[in-house]
Amino acid sequence: MKIIDLTHTIRHRMPVFPGETEPSLIRDILPDDVGYVTHRLESNMHTGTHMDAPFHIKSDSLTIDQYPLDLFAGSAMVIDVRGLPMIFMQPDWVQLFMQYKIVLFYTGHSQTWGSDSYYYDYPEFDSEIAESLVQAEVRIAGFDSPSPDKSPFAFHSIFLKNERFLVENLTNLDQLAGSENFTFMAFPLKIEAEASLIRAVAMLGE
């Protein structure tokens, strides 16, 4: 079995979505004779690779720790949508959506991670895709970009209000391009919040 890490590393003052506060990851100052090292993290839950729960758009009052863990792992596939500034629903996607509970969209935008353009010049997904995902009962949609949409965030509203989950800022989806029926796992922290930092991975059979 091969495990592919789909998660960006959390770093001190790493780039974040416009308007959010950069994370603070600081090594504690301890006496020289102390035999251990500790760090402190202060972070928005939407820093780096993370998962949005319905509470993020105020469509539910459940914090992300209250959902069953089996919602966050399962058979998944990747759809290649590279090179498109705006992604629209394709007829052949309907059948694909119906086969999987987890669908990841490979935009290629993660290649710009760390640049000034990453959080501004990212591709957008038409809201019809969110509607089709919901109708097919897909429970997680993932993206190697900061968001599937921009203000007024119609994709977020449609998908999350139907008790689904969004995973944003994935990476390494190029290693999964064309892959179907691999296992995707992305467990949120057991935290009373509207979203969570995650460690997302794909597990491929030999």
Which CATH architecture group holds 2-8+45-204? 3-Layer(bba) Sandwich (3.50)
Per-residue pLDDT reduced to its tens digit, 55-95: 999 977 899 999 999 999 999 999 999 999 999 999 999 99
Instruction: Kindly report the pTM of this predicted structure.
Output: 0.96
Report the C-alpha dihedral over residues 60, 52, 147, 170, rounded to 10 degrees: -160
Q: Are the CB atoms for 102 and 71 separated by under 8 Å?
A: no
Computed from CA positions of residues 23, 9, 157, 109, in that sequence, does the dihedral angle turn out positive or negative?
positive
| CA-closest candidate to residue 173, choices 160, 184, 189 | 184
Cβ count within 10 A of residue 185: 18
**β-strands 195-204, 2-5 pairing:** antiparallel
Domain boundaries, the chain: 2-8+45-204
pLDDT of residue 124: 98
The residue count of the chain comes to 206
Per-residue pLDDT reduced to its tens digit, 162-171: 999 999 999 9
Residue 202 predicted with pLDDT over 90 = yes
